Structure 1
């Protein structure tokens, strides 16, 4: 049997060569040179169009190249009953927490105000609130969300978190389910989205959510593009429902050059770069899962394809 790869080019040839070196006994093929589709039993794919996997009738294991897996599972032709794994490690979560803290500090300390004042040569003094006076909320308490919430609480923010089921995180006020969502939003001045994308979380960054936050709130989204309703975000920024936002993931990527989001005041765009797994982590985790799969052993970071994460 054989492994089919279709990888992103962020690491150039180093990624595929690292995989080959880690799995010297495997038949590793690079798309589009798949050969006989019936020989493919493992796929290691970055992005793929819907229906891509249909020819591979003997596929048994699908591996993502990062933590996000929603774009695979949203394919109506995604094979039923195969195992799926993803790439997750502590460093991945730490990089995400760094991103969250960077932009939380930026909005808390109103860096945009001082940059604008400097451009006008204006000595525009402004009194700043202490971290403990600012109520921050994290949506999602997976590996990345939990660490981000812990870091925010650790530097003194009044931190809350919301997730599907109730968790306990030291120093963090936790809410859960639809019954806790409104109360969570009502106390959240800076809303941080680190949710997985599922049918229940799709479009969650919308007018209904923004309206339940305190007026003039901030949104920081490093989740998935499908969480965002772009028109609602633009409207909320334009009418003052939100005072600012930082968005890292969009429904269409790369963000089209003619998108109004590029030029919207107080909207900060980053190119889906909030966190990336290291080359070593990607190679080592995938190779280990291949070895475990061949041996019939428990897989690392296996996805519940029904729950969507």
Structure 2
């Protein structure tokens, strides 16, 4: 029995050192390297290529290093009979809520107006709307979406939320199901996407959605690149249907240097960094799941492969 690791380089040696320290009795291999393929029964992986797991016939537990798992499920060779777990905790949700609040305030308070005026040395006074007059709609009510709604409501925004199933959140108007989506979008001025990527949500950020929003709305998407129909976003921005878009996740990453999002005056690009799990969170969650796996206890944050999250 042994563990295979393929980890994000952004953590340097901290992540692998933390895993080794937390699981001192485990044999741990780092990829790429000299790996005993048949020994591997646990793998913690960051965005492995399709078919990566085929040479490891004895894998019995797979762990993501974050909350997103759609790239695993897009692999036609992914072993669907093997439990897949992910990293989701309060800290992860709080970081996402911080990201959404930052950009909601940025657009609500029209920061680009003042930055442009300063660059031009213009005293460009502008009356600001109250948060209570701004309707923010959040799509997705998992742990991150729920906390984001609560924090937006605390700041005084008129918050509504949409998800597949019924939810109740104090101070938030909740909508559920496909049939409720048009009503949810009708008054949503700032649309926040925190949905999981599934067959039903792929391509949801496209013309049909934007046309149901008030003219001049704003898009903030910090979920998965597969939600975007990129040409529809550009068309909506160029027509004025959308006034701005903050985008953190893209169908192709890193975003190609020639992509029009980089230079569009109303697009704000961030490099898929809206909510990076802390090293301690990844280590603690993974180590606990390994211990549970070895003892036969229920796993933390196990993915429902049928639902896609």
Unmatched segments (≥5 aa) in structure 1: none
Residue-by-residue CA offset, 1:91-115 (whole Å, 9 max, x unaligned): 1111110110000000001000111
Q: Distance in 1 between matches of 2:197 and 2:56?
A: 26
Q: Distance in 1 between matches of 2:28 and 2:133?
A: 55
Aligned match of 2:170: 170
Alignment: residue pair count: 309
- In the TM superposition, residue 127 of structure 1 has moved relative to its aligned partner by 1.2
SS at match of 1:101: helix
Residue-by-residue CA offset, 1:44-76 (whole Å, 9 max, x unaligned): 001111111111111110000011111111111
- CA separation of 1:163 and 1:156: change in aligned 2, threshold 3 A: same
The correspondence of residues 16-31 of structure 1 with structure 2, limited to 5 A, is 16-31=16-31
The correspondence of residues 91-110 of structure 1 with structure 2, limited to 5 A, is 91-110=91-110
Q: Distance in 2 between matches of 1:166 and 1:102?
A: 27
Aligned match of 1:228: 228
Q: Distance in 1 between matches of 2:176 and 2:152?
A: 19
The correspondence of residues 65-214 of structure 1 with structure 2, limited to 5 A, is 65-214=65-214
Are the equivalent residues in 2 in contact too, given 1:4–1:34 (CA < 8 A)?
Answer: no
Q: Distance in 2 between matches of 1:45 and 1:13?
A: 15
Aligned match of 2:296: 296
Q: Distance in 1 between matches of 2:18 and 2:159?
A: 40
- In the TM superposition, residue 265 of structure 1 has moved relative to its aligned partner by 1.2
Aligned match of 2:2: 2
- Using structure 1 for the length normalisation, give the TM-score: 0.99
- In the TM superposition, residue 36 of structure 1 has moved relative to its aligned partner by 2.9
- In the TM superposition, residue 31 of structure 1 has moved relative to its aligned partner by 1.0
- In the TM superposition, residue 34 of structure 1 has moved relative to its aligned partner by 5.0
Are the equivalent residues in 1 in contact too, given 2:153–2:172 (CA < 8 A)?
Answer: yes
Q: Distance in 1 between matches of 2:180 and 2:194?
A: 17
Unmatched segments (≥5 aa) in structure 2: none
- In the TM superposition, residue 33 of structure 1 has moved relative to its aligned partner by 2.3
Residue-by-residue CA offset, 1:138-184 (whole Å, 9 max, x unaligned): 00000000000010111110000000011001000000111100000
SS at match of 2:10: coil
- Using structure 2 for the length normalisation, give the TM-score: 0.99
How well do the aligned residues superpose, as a CA RMSD in angstroms? 0.8
